[in-house]
Amino acid sequence: MGKLSKKSTVSNNEGMLSPYRVLDLTDQRGYLSGKLFGDLGADVIKMETPEGDPGRSLGPFYHDIPDPEKSLYWMGFNTNKRGITLNIKRKKGQEIFKQLCRTADFIIESFNPGYMDKLGLGYSTLSEINPGIIMASITGFGQDGPYKDYKAPDIVLWALSGLGFVTGDPDRPPISPGYPISYFFSAIQAVIGSLIALYSRGITGRGQYIDAVTLLGLAWATGPEVQGLWPTNKQIVKRTGRIWPRPQVRASGEVSYIDVPLIYPCKDGSVKFFPFVEPGMLPSTNGLTQWVVEDGMASETLQYVDWSTWNWQTVTQDAVDEIVESFSRFFMNHTKSELWNGAQERGIQLYPVFTPTDMLEFPQLTVRQYWEEVEHPELGDNIVYPGAFTKLSDGSCKIRRRAPLIGEHNEEIYFGELGLSKEELVLLKQDRII
């Protein structure tokens, strides 16, 4: 377990992006954007409606209590942010927002296209107030084009991107992640775009606008296996579940496939292994082969296979099936942890299929202090979080504070920084502006 982070409720902005301020207007589609800025030290102000962000209604919940202050979804993706409430639909709220824009470097939002413009808070207006401002919008389909106003929940983007069609077992419908991940492919991209704009601002002195498009991020992630064979060979790649088909392309352009499993059941779960024989992967495949032979589980073909001359373009499915059969029997004879430990000793590229239980027990993550224990005084508890997304030499990528409570930093920011009086704050609260 990682060290107890005593800094979870203390402001500490050291980090590569520490001079910068981010106004984070995103919902669950874009939380990760602001979090990455915060992880690198930026001062991220998460702005919520006075009743709390809609993403607070997403489960799972702490101790299964459905309460806006107990959403683990909210907590997980809003660390390293301060939180204020502001109703930007109201005129007074818009005035305050514009004031905050004067001292901000970045704005990130994930409303439907055109929403900020409709409120009079579009990029063109905000850049007049602060010409250096960099604004990123995270949407499913982008700010323009024939689908721009289409509804774009995770599953629809997953489907249209091409990932849906190729994911899942062949005898059942295609599947989407049981836990939505589509928008992460634009939330992180929005940060990349924003930082390029920042670097550019250092040259031009001007900010700009970033259109981060989930469909593009997911279409990129379908990769060349899907896209490579359609235009050239008119071949449609289908979903094959645990099997990974390796294409054999004839000179005529005709394509057939050799089926090789990637995921194999074992005694207490599943493991993932692929008999690559490409450079660097030969020792792994040889290592497993030798182990299977030692265990007396190898068929004759596997015993005498020479992986160094193996050619996926010419092998037959029968030969592969026979080898796979030996591997399968061998795996079923061992547990995940036996296979993992043996794989380590023998230099085999094999991974057990992990769920969080396995992750928390994985020694490598503990040694690297991946897990961070974050104080939640409001719950009277500490919760273990996945920590830094990367390790920097100065250790500055880390969790500095837990996710904010609703309006937790209203006073700090409105009174302390914007210079509003306590009386004004009370009025704003009564008027449901904050």
Partner 1 sequence: MEMDDTQMQTPPFEGINILDFTWTGTGPFSLNPLAFYGATIIKVESRERPDALRSLGPFKDGVAAPEQSYYFAYCQTGKRYNITLNMSHPEAKELVKRLVVWADIVADSYATGTMEKWGLDYDNLKKIKPDIIMLRTCMHGHTGPLAGHHGQGFILTALSGVDSILGWPDRPPAGAFGALTDFIAPQFNSVCLIAALDYRRRTGKGQYIDQSQHEAAMQLITPLILDYTANQRDLTPRCNRLDNAAPHGIYRCRGDDIWCAIAVFTDDEWKSFCRIIGQPALAKDSKFATLSQRKQNEDELDRIVEEWTVKHSPREVMDLMQAARVAAGVVADARDQAEDPQLMHYNFFEEREHPVIGKIPFYHGPCFRLSETPYEIGRATMIGEHNEYVFTELLGLSDEEWARLMAEGVI
377-396 burial: b if 16+ Cβ within 10 Å, else e: eeeeebbebebbeeeeeeeb
The residue to which tokens 């409606």 are assigned: 49
Find the radius of gyration of the CA atoms of the chain.
26
Q: How far apart are CA 178 and CA 201, in angstroms?
A: 40
CB of 424 to partner 1, least distance (A): 34
Per CB under 8 A, does 130 bind partner 1? Answer: no
Stretch 270-289 residues interacting with partner 1 (CB under 8 A): 270-274, 276, 278-281, 284
Report the residue number, 120 or 145, with the smaller CB distance to partner 1.
145
**Which structure tokens are listed for 164?**
């849906």
CB of 323 to partner 1, least distance (A): 18
Stretch 138-157 residues interacting with partner 1 (CB under 8 A): 141-142, 144-147, 150-153, 155-157
Q: How far apart are CA 420 and CA 411, in angstroms?
A: 9
Stretch 280-339 residues interacting with partner 1 (CB under 8 A): 280-281, 284, 311-313
Q: How far apart are CA 179 and CA 165, in angstroms?
A: 17
Stretch 374-393 residues interacting with partner 1 (CB under 8 A): 381, 383-386, 388-393
Candidates 91, 250, 422, 432: give the one binding partner 1 (CB under 8 A): 250
Tell me if residue 361 falls in helix, strand or coil.
coil
CB of 209 to partner 1, least distance (A): 4
* Closest CA relative to residue 413, chosen from 106, 85, 154: 85
Candidates 2, 5, 8, 17: give the one binding partner 1 (CB under 8 A): 17
Per CB under 8 A, does 363 bind partner 1? Answer: yes
Report the residue number, 90 or 346, with the smaller CB distance to partner 1.
346
CB of 133 to partner 1, least distance (A): 11
CB of 232 to partner 1, least distance (A): 7
Candidates 129, 175, 315, 427: give the one binding partner 1 (CB under 8 A): 175
- Dihedral sign (CA 216, 222, 227, 230): negative
CB of 338 to partner 1, least distance (A): 16
Per CB under 8 A, does 419 bind partner 1? Answer: no
Q: How far apart are CA 52 and CA 68, in angstroms?
A: 7
CB of 318 to partner 1, least distance (A): 20
Containing 312, the helix (H) or strand (E) segment is none
CB of 102 to partner 1, least distance (A): 18
Per CB under 8 A, does 195 bind partner 1? Answer: yes
Report the residue number, 228 or 319, with the smaller CB distance to partner 1.
228
CB 50, CB 433: distance < 8 Å: yes
**Which structure tokens are listed for 245?**
């088909």
CB of 10 to partner 1, least distance (A): 21
Candidates 9, 12, 13, 16: give the one binding partner 1 (CB under 8 A): 16
Angle at the Cα of 50 (from 45 to 55), degrees rounded to 5?
70
Site string for partner 1, 85-114 (x = CB under 8 A): ------------------------------
Q: Which residue stretch of 89-97, 210-218, 290-298, 424-432 sits at the interface with partner 1 (rule: CB under 8 A)?
A: 210-218
**Which structure tokens are listed for 182?**
């589509």
Q: How far apart are CA 179 and CA 261, in angstroms?
A: 24
CB of 333 to partner 1, least distance (A): 16
Q: Which residue stretch of 95-103, 219-227, 301-309, 423-431 sits at the interface with partner 1 (rule: CB under 8 A)?
A: 219-227
Per CB under 8 A, does 268 bind partner 1? Answer: no
- CA distances, 352 to each of 75, 262, 292 (Å): 28, 11, 17
# binding residues, partner 1 (CB under 8 A): 166
Q: How far apart are CA 7 and CA 203, in angstroms?
A: 36
Main-chain dihedrals φ then ψ at residue 9, nearest 5 degrees: -115, 10
CB of 92 to partner 1, least distance (A): 28
Main-chain dihedrals φ then ψ at residue 275, nearest 5 degrees: -75, 70
Main-chain dihedrals φ then ψ at residue 236, nearest 5 degrees: -100, 120
Report the residue number, 93 or 287, with the smaller CB distance to partner 1.
287
Report the residue number, 112 or 299, with the smaller CB distance to partner 1.
112
Report the residue number, 67 or 220, with the smaller CB distance to partner 1.
220
- Dihedral sign (CA 343, 365, 15, 111): positive
CB 350, CB 339: distance < 8 Å: yes
Stretch 341-360 residues interacting with partner 1 (CB under 8 A): 344, 347, 349-357, 359-360
59-70 burial: b if 16+ Cβ within 10 Å, else e: eebbeeeeebbb
